[in-house]
Amino acid sequence: MNARSTIHSPRPATAGFSFVEVLVTAALVALVFGGLFAAVQAMISLINDSKAKAGAVALATERVEYIRSLAYDSVGTVSGVPAGTIPQNRSVTLNDLTYKERVLVEYVDDPADGEAGADSNGIVADYKRVKVEYSWPTRNGTSSIALTSNVVPPGVETTAGGGTLRVYVNDASVLPVSGASVRFVNTTGTSTIDTVRFTDPNGMAQLGGAPALSSYEIYVTLAGHSSDGTSIATGTLSSPAQPVVSVAEAAVTTQYFQIDRLSDLNIETVSSPTYGSFTDNFNTSGFIATSTDVVVSGSSVVLAGAPGSYAASGTVLATTTSPSPLDSWYSVDFTATSTASSSVTVQLYYVSGTTTALIPDIDLPGNSGGFTTSPIDITSLDTGVYSDVVLSATLASADPTETPELDDWTLTHIESQPTLSGIPLTVTGDKVLGTDSGGGDVYKTVYSDVTDGSGEWSLTDIEYDAYTIVVDDPGLDILEACPWTRVALQPNTTETITFTIGSIAGPRLLVGVTDASDTPVAGATVRLEVGGYDETQTTSLCGQTFFSGGGLTTATGTLTVSKSGYTSFVDTDVAVHASSTAQAQIN
């Protein structure tokens, strides 16, 4: 018997990709084709931009040649100077792309024969300049091209061009503003003039060859800036401060205007605050956490030692102040005595873990060097970061026979100060458009509104000016305005003013004290004497204090303001009534 054996060869396994390999391959494909797609997109965009620019150049060239083919007297724009039939603005479509066309035709006073009044023949409209601009939308905004050509008269110059209206535009610092739009309008002639010029780097825009007419209106604008211009006399504005202007034949009329960057004004209305404070008169050493080379003597902190052997310096650290409730920090006041060779310097620390750390200057400017006068304004401290504050003082003397003294210090905070909504306010700028028929000022800027649910009113993008703010409710009083009720708003700035509002019966007087630079003076002593009323108060951090009640009557009295290191102020004729205010300057 023959035995057969069958040998089976194993079938080879089918090869395949793992999931990771598939992911890697997909990523590589995406990377390669993504780059190719981006490159193709960029190429298409470049081709489209080049095609659009070529179309704009072709349109502009054709348009300039057409204008140059016109008779000299026909070269002008609708409502422009010189006047003609060419539209100042229109839309043109080429290759399914819409272009915006702008045509400017203006007279040129060539310097070759003298300019303006120095022109040798008295003709300032020597020839015309044509500028044709085409703009079109792109993926990144707008692109444009422009062509310029001069068109000269076929013969000698004539005075048909009229006069010249020249405008200079400056900013608040009397520096030239370039790129401002100056619109010239006149409806008194046989055809309406309504054309725009733009100021050059010298802030000058010129309408050459303007017909000799009266009542030219001028309007100056620039994106992000205030506006200025002439005003037409009306029933409410009988005497404009900047009236419409006239142009005489072969003469130059010059006008000046001012614009600048817009600003923001934020107004907050709050009720009277509830204050809390920590005070140490050093009757004991109970509120001193640590000290070095100082002692408490006679209710004052002094350097350790005796006359002739006083320590050169020493420090004292108060116990930690952790108020609750705490709405905001307010001020540090201290009383100290020093000489020419000694000093007392106060600094503020905060609790950091198990130790204390100096509050940095970025949060409390000047703290690293210390403060030698009070009050110290600490309203900028963030209560979320600085919920605990520690007072520290360094006493130093270069003379061992002398020691400075720290007599007391007070750390004040605000426990609560609710906001007030629905407070009616009017904001009026100083700039005037002119006067009404009765001679009263007509102000350029007046706003009226009420504070919102958060006790705020924000005026955005308003003109730089000095603004006066009043409460339009006779039952409410401004107990404090921080800063003063008059705000000098500078260009491109944001100012915030906080009004503390209350309701006070009877006569009252709000006093504001400033120095020569108009900076509020805190801690000044203010005494008011009216008949039998005699009261002395201290100005707040905003340099203000409010007198009312206590027998204060409607009358004339004496106001005396003083502070160490400043000259005194005395007004023997200060009026006190239902809404009186007074300002005092000490230097």
From CA 310, how far away is CA 307, in angstroms rounded? 6
pLDDT at 115: 63
**How do 217-221 and 228-229 pair as beta strands?**
antiparallel
Cα dist from 133 to 51, 173, 180, 222, 462, whole Å = 17, 33, 18, 20, 32
How does DSSP classify residue 161?
A: G
Q: What is the dihedral angle through the alpha carbons of 367, 521, 423, 428, rounded to the nearest 10 degrees?
A: -120
* Maximum pairwise Cα distance, the chain: 150
Cβ–Cβ < 8 Å for 378, 359: no
From CA 99, how far away is CA 140, in angstroms rounded? 16
Cβ–Cβ < 8 Å for 216, 185: yes
Burial grade of 27 (CB within 10 A; 0-12, 13-18, 19 or more): exposed
**Is residue 233 classed as helix, strand or coil in its secondary structure?**
coil
For residue 109, give every residue at least 6 positions away whose Cβ sits within 8 Å of its Cβ, in sequence order, or none.
115, 116, 119, 124, 125, 126, 164, 208
User: Which residue, among 289, 201, 187, 189, has the nearest Cα to 232 in the 3D structure?
Assistant: 187
Q: Looking at domain 274-416, does it have CATH number 2.60.120?
A: yes
Cβ-based neighbour number of residue 568 at 10 Å: 12
pLDDT at 156: 53
From CA 253, how far away is CA 211, in angstroms rounded? 12
CATH fold for the domain made of 504-587: Immunoglobulin-like (2.60.40)
pLDDT at 50: 86
Class of domain 72-258: mainly beta
Using only C-alpha atoms, the chain has a radius of gyration, in whole angstroms, of 38
From CA 558, how far away is CA 556, in angstroms rounded? 7
pLDDT at 158: 56
From CA 141, how far away is CA 127, in angstroms rounded? 35
**Is residue 499 classed as helix, strand or coil in its secondary structure?**
strand
User: Which residue, among 131, 134, 142, has the nearest Cα to 67 in the 3D structure?
Assistant: 131
Q: Which helix (H) or strand (E) holds 60?
A: helix 19-69
User: Which residue, among 243, 209, 239, 246, has the nearest Cα to 229 in the 3D structure?
Assistant: 243
Domain extents in the chain: 72-258, 274-416, 504-587
**Is residue 479 classed as helix, strand or coil in its secondary structure?**
strand
Cα dist from 44 to 38, 55, 308, 475, 586, whole Å = 10, 16, 90, 70, 71
Strand pairing partners for 531?
none
Cβ-based neighbour number of residue 356 at 10 Å: 19
pLDDT at 45: 73
Structure-token match 């046989």, residue found = 190
Would the CATH topology of 72-258 be identical to that of 504-587? yes
Positions in the chain short of pLDDT 50: 1-7, 9
In this structure, what token pair is assigned to residue 322? 């952790």
Predicted structure pTM score: 0.78
From CA 522, how far away is CA 552, in angstroms rounded? 24
In this structure, what token pair is assigned to residue 461? 């993008």
